[in-house]
Amino acid sequence: MRETGGKRLNLKKDGEFYKGFRASVPTGLGVLTYGLVFGVLCAETGLSFPMLALMNMAVFSGSAQTLIVGMWNGGFPVWQMAVAAAVINVRYFLLTAAVAPLMEPYGWFGRAWRVHLVTDENWAITMAEWRKREVTVDHLVGGGVCVGLFWFFSVMVGHSLGFTLENPERYALDFAFTALFTALAVNMWRGGKDIFPWLVSAGTASLAWRHLPGAWYVLLGGIAGSVAAALMKEAE
């Protein structure tokens, strides 16, 4: 056990931290694939090794980092890159709201660093486990540490490889994101009652992607699906 923010983080091998860490290893292997590709792309844009390491720790969001790197050499001012990254990460308000009950025992600092470790991957894994049994926030933290380690080291290794990938789609590497999140979605599937909110979310995201600039489709699709699920629950 170790004291963190007034509470104890269970680091025993049978504790929630290790359960979350182990459960996230297969997902981490998927992160490894596109982390390597992202690192190579960062090297191509001229992003320095120290700057990339700092961004990995400070931002820790594959989608936001990909967007920032894409704008890096495009002449965009820093504030525009920051706003774009903030927009694409607004979905984390929805994710962290769902796990807010797990954060209740902690103060603002304890919640802040735990929230920083929330990713799409470990959030989905923890939520799926929570539906089966009671979990603690240590499960979420363990998964976040696992995903973070795979992400950080794969990106830095990719940056250090010293070669370029002109056509990553040739090796199906561009499909890594899609494959990973499809697997996560299947893991969270609960049956027929998920059909309606999933269709609402997908339909809204598709319309937003077609008619709105930027990454608003991510936020709007998530909100629409959440509202649909809440309405269904009230109707039961």
Single-letter amino acid code for the residue at 111: R
Q: What is the pLDDT of residue 2?
A: 46
Give the 3-state secondary structure of 159-204.
Answer: HHCCCCCCCHHHHCHHHHHHHHHHHHHHHHCCCHHHHHHHHHHHHH
For 92, residues 6+ apart whose C-beta sits below 8 A from its C-beta are 115, 118
- In this structure, are residues 54 and 81 in contact, taking their beta carbons and an 8 Å threshold? no
- Mean pLDDT for the chain overall: 79
Q: How many alpha carbons fall within 13 Å on the CB side of residue 11?
A: 8
Model confidence pLDDT, tens digit, residues 225-235 = 778 777 776 55
Identify the sign of the CA torsion 121, 17, 226, 192. positive
Residue 123 CA, distance from chain mean position: 8
**Alpha carbons 99 and 130: distance in angstroms, whole number:** 10
**In this predicted model, what pLDDT tens digit does every residue of 179-192 receive, in sequence order?**
555 655 665 566 67
pLDDT of residue 5: 46
131, two tokens: 């539906």
CA atoms within 13 A on the CB side of 169: 1
Q: What is the pLDDT of residue 47?
A: 84
| Domain locations in the chain as residue ranges | 12-188, 192-236
pLDDT at 66: 78
Q: What residue ranges of the chain have pLDDT lower than 70?
A: 1-8, 10-14, 73-74, 162-191, 214-215, 218-219, 233-236
pLDDT for 77: 79
What local confidence, expressed as pLDDT, does residue 37 receive? 81
